[in-house]
Chain A
Amino acid sequence: MSQARVERQPVSGGNMLLVMVGLGMAFLLFMAMLGLKTNPGPIYGESNMLYVALVFYAGAGALYMGFGVTGIERYVKLASVATSIGWIANTVAAAHRWYEAGRPPFSNLYEMLLSFVWTVALLTLIAEKGYKVKIIGSVTMPLAVVSVILMQLMPSEVRPLVPALQSTWLHVHVSLAMLSYAACAVSFALAMMFLIQDRMKTETFQVLTASGMVGVFASMLIRFHSGALAVTSYDISRHSEIFNDQNERVLVAIPDLGWLVLLVLISALIPVILYFVARVQKNDNLHDASTKAMFVSIVLQVVMVAAFAVRVKNSIYPALNADGVAPTALAGSPFILAGMIGSIFAGLLYLLLLWRRSDLERMLPPADVLDGVTYKTIGVAFPLLTLMIATGAYWANQAWGSYWSWDPKETWAAITWLVYAGYLHARITHGMRGRWAAYFAICGFVVVIFTFFGVTYLLPGLHAYGSNG
């Protein structure tokens, strides 16, 4: 009798989550229906479909997370149904945009995110159905949701292409980039799961997560201007950034927000410092302190995002590199926003590990399977990376007569390629396995992130065509 009760308990708790997710999705869809009349265009139009995709992805994400915490199999089934519906809506949205524009949707950041989300959702379904890696949705679906939300903030109208971008090779290049970067992201997630199964210490995950956070907020500190935070100006009515006489993007200074960034950076640095102090002094008590510091940092980051959103949203601030004032909006700072949300998301995953490690270990495939799948994913990503660089070179050769001009984006793509080439060499000829292979895969993805975001945001470059700075 008592055993039966134990078995029933998670099921009833499980129904609770299902009801909540179902009601939440129904509510959001109902609200959207009410607003449908004011929204022109066909019902299967891009913005409606994208909204449907968002709702279903969010539901799927919640269910995958629920599976991560409770381990109830039923959640995964429903979650993959929700992911499939969301993916179909996503496909319709992309197809509608393609039809409207008369060209594949890969030309600006908005469209690239659209195809990135599409690829991520597809890969999630493949990983789940084909390789039985069920937990992966709890990582990828929130990523998809964040991307769709970012897309809602960005200018979405179909814009004509400047002449340099009118090339089939460019579309091939960008879609290959999205595919290979998505494969790299999946290999990163798999390598992390391997490290969990390989009994890497939770403290080590903590210091990795905290270092990532430090990276995000340290790169934001580049925009620190005597206490203020400089963000790109943005004119909502024209859906465009504002440029000064020298054709540079106008930056506006939001007072005091810079100090908050500094504070968050310090709060993320504390766990890192405590970890190394604990290592040197061999004092395990410090780990508790650093976990508390980590917690404080995550809370501060949530405050930071809220403060950022409130202060940036459609406001006017003094301009830094032009006279007078200029408006800005959330759409002007997609990279900052993505960085902060990504950092919080990493923090939440860390908390999941901290609190539910034994459940996670039970649900994940064994370490050697994860190791093998990581290798396979990189085995898929690497030829795609090669083709991506090759088609990019071919396009550049057709557009301005040089297949390789060492512009930072190109150089960093080559560095990414070399890192993964190193991984494959070490693996194939020297039989590298396990821990080191996982570290290598993680390093590779860090370089990918830098190539994708860092080069545009941190380094000067030619590749400013499709970006939003």
Chain B
Amino acid sequence: MNFFRHKFFRFFASVRTGIFLLLTVILLSAVGTVILQRPITDPVEIQRAYSPSTLQLLDRLQLTDIYHAWYFVTLLGLVILSIIFVSIDRWPNAWRFYSRPYRFAEPHFRASLPTRTVIPVPSADGALDAAERAFKKCGIPVEREVSGNDVGLYSERSRIAEFAVYFVHASLIFLLLGYLLDLQVGYRGTMALNEGETTNHYTIRRGATEIDRTLPFSIRCDGADWDSYKDADGRDTGMPKRYWSKLVVVKNGQDVRKKEIIVNDPLTYAGVRFYQSGMDKGNKLGKVSLQVNIPGAASPQSVELIPNQAAKVGDMTIAIARFVPEYYIQDGEVFTKSETPRNPAMQFTVSKAGTQYPVWIFMDRSGQAIEKNTGVQLTVTGGKLSTLTVLQVSYQPGQFLIFPGVLLMVAGLMMVLLMAHTRHWAVVVNDPKVGPAIWIGGTSNRNKIRFQQKFEELVAAIKTEVKAGSSINKKTTTPELAKV
């Protein structure tokens, strides 16, 4: 318990510390919007914007990645600490209000409550009834409260509003913890794959460097492309309308999940989300059209081939075996010169009666070849390079704290702004100055101006009721008075 009197606790529970921390957050956040930031800005652009020595200094002070700097993260941690300590510090008071409502106005309380009035009555008899009627007319629910020999009125509304601030503060802790969690275990990376390709590699950027990492499962792309807006005559305007990729999650060699993703609609698997982020021309073969001449057949046959899929022609099957974007030949072997599709070569497999025969076609030569064993002639009549789809890979478990936190915050704010814990007490007293009277008092934890207005309306209503009651009931009996 001593901890709560300790300097450390008092320091972080103080409002002044809270304000100082918030101002520092504001200041550092603003600084980060003025200086170009590393993960967002291109490294080349940063180098163009600052001189090498300035950039070195900024990097050393982590000002080019301020939101992930140790001091900013520490600051957010201190904000959490401050919110928790402030809440603990105020908790006993709020809990007392909530758990042990003060229902009968004792004399010492009556003397100290700021909002209170004494209304003289002709007699104590029936005064409480008059007050009760006035409460009901003003729409304030009220109940009788007996304390010893005394009877009083007590009314209470929205007790839960005492906790409104705790909801808001708890939601802030949710948000900050969620964010810090994502900062520690979450990541965002990029994965680029060609149509037909399977990979589990992605890269993340830390400052100026790129790091290659792997997933425990793989992603295969079964197709990717973009559609564009058509103009009134049905021609392409060239303005992209929709980017899409057909993705398959492959785990232990099996397809476990399939989805066609578009921008704004990602694929989620095991908490990892894959977003459509960009598209480019790939360096793999997407599709190839072939004309197949089988010796002895009446007319040539056309087939379309995509990677990993064979086509049946007569008693043979034809499939794509290899694609080399730019080739060269050394010692009779085909080698890859570069990954840029400037001068491609394709190897096909012709299978007949269980035997596979490979055959190369070089596009810079005739674009056709004859497989010697079967005598089949293949001619490439058209083809398309694969589309390279660029995916954003994102793992952010903290979002399961963030979005509930936001809902909690909105609920808490509504409570803070719309609800007030209001209480009223009324007791019949024998005032030394005015004689028999109704003492009435009230309090509200928020929106005090409005409460004051309502209180005055209530007092006026009681006065009218008292006047009406006394004109009907002239009979007097010995009143049982509460002591002032």
Partner of B402, one of A403, A414, A428: A403
Q: Which of B410, B417, B446 has the most CB of A within 10 A?
A: B417
The yes or no answer to B472 lying at the interface (CB within 8 A) is no
Given contacts A372-B449, A400-B392, A405-B40, contact A415 B413 (CB under 8 A): no
Question: In the complex, A390→B411 CA distance in Å?
Answer: 13
Given contacts A160-B241, A164-B263, A400-B277, contact A459 B410 (CB under 8 A): no
Establish whether residues A406 and B179, one from each chain, have CB atoms under 8 Å apart when the complex forms: no
Given contacts A399-B263, A406-B67, contact A459 B34 (CB under 8 A): yes
Partner of B33, one of A160, A397, A401, A459: A459
Establish whether residues B402 and A408, one from each chain, have CB atoms under 8 Å apart when the complex forms: no
Across the two chains, which residue of chain B brings its CB closest to A414?
Answer: B29
B40: which A residues are within 8 A, CB to CB? 405-407, 462
We find that the number of chain A residues with CB closer than 8 angstroms to chain B is 43
Establish whether residues A422 and B22, one from each chain, have CB atoms under 8 Å apart when the complex forms: yes
The yes or no answer to A71 lying at the interface (CB within 8 A) is no
What band does the interface of chain B fall in when counting residues whose beta carbon is under 8 Å from A? Answer: 35 or more
1/0 contact string of A367-400 vs chain B (CB within 8 Å): 0100010000001001100110010011001111
In the complex, what's the smallest C-beta–C-beta distance from A116 to chain B, in angstroms?
Answer: 23
The yes or no answer to B188 lying at the interface (CB within 8 A) is yes
The yes or no answer to B341 lying at the interface (CB within 8 A) is no
Establish whether residues B410 and A387, one from each chain, have CB atoms under 8 Å apart when the complex forms: yes
Given contacts A379-B417, A459-B34, contact A160 B29 (CB under 8 A): no
Q: Which of A397, A414, A418 has the most CB of B within 10 A?
A: A397
1/0 contact string of A402-423 vs chain B (CB within 8 Å): 1111111001101100110010
Partner of A160, one of B36, B39, B229: B229
Partner of A390, one of B25, B239, B396, B410: B410
The yes or no answer to A166 lying at the interface (CB within 8 A) is yes
Across the two chains, which residue of chain B brings its CB closest to A406?
Answer: B67
Establish whether residues B264 and A163, one from each chain, have CB atoms under 8 Å apart when the complex forms: yes
The yes or no answer to A41 lying at the interface (CB within 8 A) is no
Question: In the complex, A362→B435 CA distance in Å?
Answer: 45
The yes or no answer to B394 lying at the interface (CB within 8 A) is yes
Question: In the complex, A163→B239 CA distance in Å?
Answer: 10
Partner of B394, one of A402, A407, A430, A455: A402
Given contacts A163-B243, A459-B34, contact A383 B263 (CB under 8 A): no
Establish whether residues B32 and A406, one from each chain, have CB atoms under 8 Å apart when the complex forms: yes
In the complex, what's the smallest C-beta–C-beta distance from A221 to chain B, in angstroms?
Answer: 17
In the complex, what's the smallest C-beta–C-beta distance from A29 to chain B, in angstroms?
Answer: 32
Across the two chains, which residue of chain B brings its CB closest to A407?
Answer: B40
A394: which B residues are within 8 A, CB to CB? 403
The yes or no answer to B360 lying at the interface (CB within 8 A) is no
Partner of B446, one of A397, A398, A411, A428: A428
In the complex, what's the smallest C-beta–C-beta distance from A361 to chain B, in angstroms?
Answer: 22
In the complex, what's the smallest C-beta–C-beta distance from A338 to chain B, in angstroms?
Answer: 21
Establish whether residues A418 and B22, one from each chain, have CB atoms under 8 Å apart when the complex forms: yes
Across the two chains, which residue of chain A brings its CB closest to B275?
Answer: A401
Interface positions, chain A 426-469, Cβ under 8 Å from B, are 428-430, 455, 459-460, 462
B275: which A residues are within 8 A, CB to CB? 399-401
1/0 contact string of B133-173 vs chain A (CB within 8 Å): 00000000000000000000000000000000000000000
Interface positions, chain B 93-124, Cβ under 8 Å from A, are none
Q: Which of B37, B243, B263, B277 has the most CB of A within 10 A?
A: B263
Establish whether residues A403 and B449, one from each chain, have CB atoms under 8 Å apart when the complex forms: no
Across the two chains, which residue of chain A brings its CB closest to B18?
Answer: A425
A428: which B residues are within 8 A, CB to CB? 416, 446
The yes or no answer to B240 lying at the interface (CB within 8 A) is yes
Establish whether residues B413 and A393, one from each chain, have CB atoms under 8 Å apart when the complex forms: no
A163: which B residues are within 8 A, CB to CB? 240-243, 262-264, 276
Interface positions, chain B 8-41, Cβ under 8 Å from A, are 15, 19, 22, 25-26, 29-30, 32-34, 36-37, 39-41
In the complex, what's the smallest C-beta–C-beta distance from A347 to chain B, in angstroms?
Answer: 29
Question: In the complex, A97→B211 CA distance in Å?
Answer: 47
A31: which B residues are within 8 A, CB to CB? none
Question: In the complex, A157→B78 CA distance in Å?
Answer: 50
Establish whether residues A403 and B399, one from each chain, have CB atoms under 8 Å apart when the complex forms: yes
Partner of A404, one of B41, B179, B239: B179
The yes or no answer to A19 lying at the interface (CB within 8 A) is no
The yes or no answer to B265 lying at the interface (CB within 8 A) is yes
Interface positions, chain B 261-299, Cβ under 8 Å from A, are 262-266, 273, 275-277
Question: In the complex, A460→B33 CA distance in Å?
Answer: 8
Establish whether residues A402 and B67, one from each chain, have CB atoms under 8 Å apart when the complex forms: no
B224: which A residues are within 8 A, CB to CB? none
The yes or no answer to A167 lying at the interface (CB within 8 A) is yes
The yes or no answer to A162 lying at the interface (CB within 8 A) is yes
A402: which B residues are within 8 A, CB to CB? 188, 394, 396
Given contacts A386-B413, A414-B29, A418-B26, contact A167 B240 (CB under 8 A): no
Establish whether residues B241 and A401, one from each chain, have CB atoms under 8 Å apart when the complex forms: no
Partner of B410, one of A383, A393, A406, A418: A383
In the complex, what's the smallest C-beta–C-beta distance from A387 to chain B, in angstroms?
Answer: 6
1/0 contact string of B394-415 vs chain A (CB within 8 Å): 1010010011001001100110
Establish whether residues A162 and B399, one from each chain, have CB atoms under 8 Å apart when the complex forms: no
Question: In the complex, A51→B26 CA distance in Å?
Answer: 42
B406: which A residues are within 8 A, CB to CB? 386, 390, 393
Establish whether residues A386 and B409, one from each chain, have CB atoms under 8 Å apart when the complex forms: yes
Establish whether residues B240 and A162, one from each chain, have CB atoms under 8 Å apart when the complex forms: yes
Given contacts A163-B241, A383-B413, A460-B36, contact A398 B266 (CB under 8 A): yes
Across the two chains, which residue of chain B brings its CB closest to A418?
Answer: B26
Across the two chains, which residue of chain A brings its CB closest to B172?
Answer: A421
Given contacts A397-B399, A401-B275, contact A166 B264 (CB under 8 A): yes
Question: In the complex, A401→B266 CA distance in Å?
Answer: 8
B25: which A residues are within 8 A, CB to CB? 418
Supplied contacts A383-B414, A411-B32, 4 more A-B pairs, CB within 8 Å: A383-B417, A399-B263, A401-B275, A406-B67
What are the nearest 3 A-B pairs in CB distance? Answer: A401-B394, A163-B263, A408-B33
Listed by A's residue number, 18 A-B pairs whose Cβ atoms lie within 8 Å are A160-B239, A163-B264, A164-B263, A390-B406, A398-B265, A399-B264, A400-B275, A401-B266, A401-B275, A403-B396, A403-B399, A406-B67, A411-B33, A412-B30, A415-B30, A424-B416, A428-B416, A428-B446
Residues of A within 8 A of B (CB): 160, 162-164, 166-167, 368, 372, 379, 382-383, 386-387, 390, 393-394, 397-408, 411-412, 414-415, 418-419, 422, 424, 428-430, 455, 459-460, 462
Residues of B within 8 A of A (CB): 15, 19, 22, 25-26, 29-30, 32-34, 36-37, 39-41, 67, 179, 188, 229, 237, 239-243, 262-266, 273, 275-277, 392-394, 396, 399, 402-403, 406, 409-410, 413-414, 416-417, 446, 449
